[in-house]
Amino acid sequence: MSGTELHRGLDGITVAETRLSDIDGEAGTLHIGGFPVDELATSATFEETVFLLFEDRLPSADELDAFRADLAARREIGEDVHAILRQAASEEVPAMDALRMGVAAASLDAGDTERPREAARRVVAVFPTIVAAYWRYRQNEEPVAPREDLRHAANYLWMVSGTEPTDAAVRGVETYLNTVVDHGLNASTFTARTVVSTESDLVSAATAAVGTLKGPLHGGAPGPVLEMLEAVHESGDPEEFVRERLDAGERLMGFGHRVYSVRDPRAAVLATAAEQFYDDGDDFFETVRRFEEVAVDLLSEHKPDHRLDTNVEFYTAALLSGVGIPKELFTPTFAIARSAGWMAHALEQRSDNRLVRPVSRYVGETDCSWTPLSER
């Protein structure tokens, strides 16, 4: 199909209808399940958000209790999965690789992978257990068993640290999970829908999506953002830091987004959530705020025709660090949130499925003649 119009990266191509999230990149707005992101993120528990995405409505009190209990009952992982995570930890593989292995293996001890809605709940429930267990093994500590009496966010913090989380930390993590739970047809979500379009199972879709999210152009930036902020804080000169990076032609992590031409609305939500974890006048958070101001101004000077504003990754780093999540777990924590969006999209794809099958433009030779091996 050499004559087809080329859309690199599928820019501007609409391939699905969804009720899950709506982005206006020009206005800088995001609605999730019909709610403005700032309202949903700060008001809902994560279980309410997952129910909203799965059922297209908010739950009643009784429905929420039942849904929360059902998710909690699906959190355990078997010894086969633990063995894989122990091996991954002993070889010090990256946390996202361990998550990918764990998710793929989690179907070994689950009897509901052939029932899509149950499989979707299992995927959401088991992500935090896999991440936390792997992290504990990396620290030469035994995993902390999940607790059914804790909400999703609280249980994650409990399994990572082994200590009772504060209400503020739980709310901070819930705000983060709600903020990034879904975001249009991004690369990992598109991957999940593509897998399901072949009538494959939801665990396979989740595994493929994890592999996609791992890439630094998608979900892998919050850790490097924190390292950048720490370096700036130590130097005490954000302007010099930014100028050096821009003069060297380096990308400034935490700024610019494929979709937004203005400030990412999720950055505002996470900035407010992060601030409470730093004392008034805290030098580090002052550095974060000052760095954002300087970076936006200098980026505007450097690329006057291409606005690069703050994206979600910038304040993700400040919030998750403030809550106490190790930077090695920033992207896996992103995956814990986005797993619900992936599964909601997978269920939506199944409800009105068509195999995803784009075309490519061939640019190779067409008049080659075969040369025998002896004559090459």
User: What are the residue numbers of the active site?
Assistant: 257, 313
How many CB atoms within 10 Å of residue 249? 6
Phi-psi region of 199 (alpha: psi -120 to 50; beta: other; left: phi over 0): left
73: number of CA atoms within 13 Å, CB side? 9
Strand pairing class (35-36; 21-24):
unpaired
CB 64 within 8 Å of CB 295: no
Percent helix, strand, coil in the chain, to 5, is 60, 5, 40
Type and span of the H or E element at 271: helix 265-275
Contacts of 221 (CB under 8 A, 6+ apart): 253, 254, 313
Encode 129-143 in three state secondary structure.
HHHHHHHHHHCCCCC
Helix (H, G, I), strand (E, B) or coil at 323: helix
Tokens (6 digits) for 368: 């080659």
State how far the alpha carbon of 110 is from the alpha carbons of 80, 122, 308, 311, in Å: 12, 8, 45, 37
Q: Which residues pair with 36 in a beta bridge?
A: 31
Helix (H) or strand (E) holding 22: strand 21-24
How many other β-carbons are positioned within 10 Å of the β-carbon of residue 24? 13
Question: What three-state secondary structure class fits 282?
Answer: coil
Reported residue count of the chain is 376
- Residue 242 and residue 295 in contact, taking contact as beta carbons nearer than 8 Å: yes
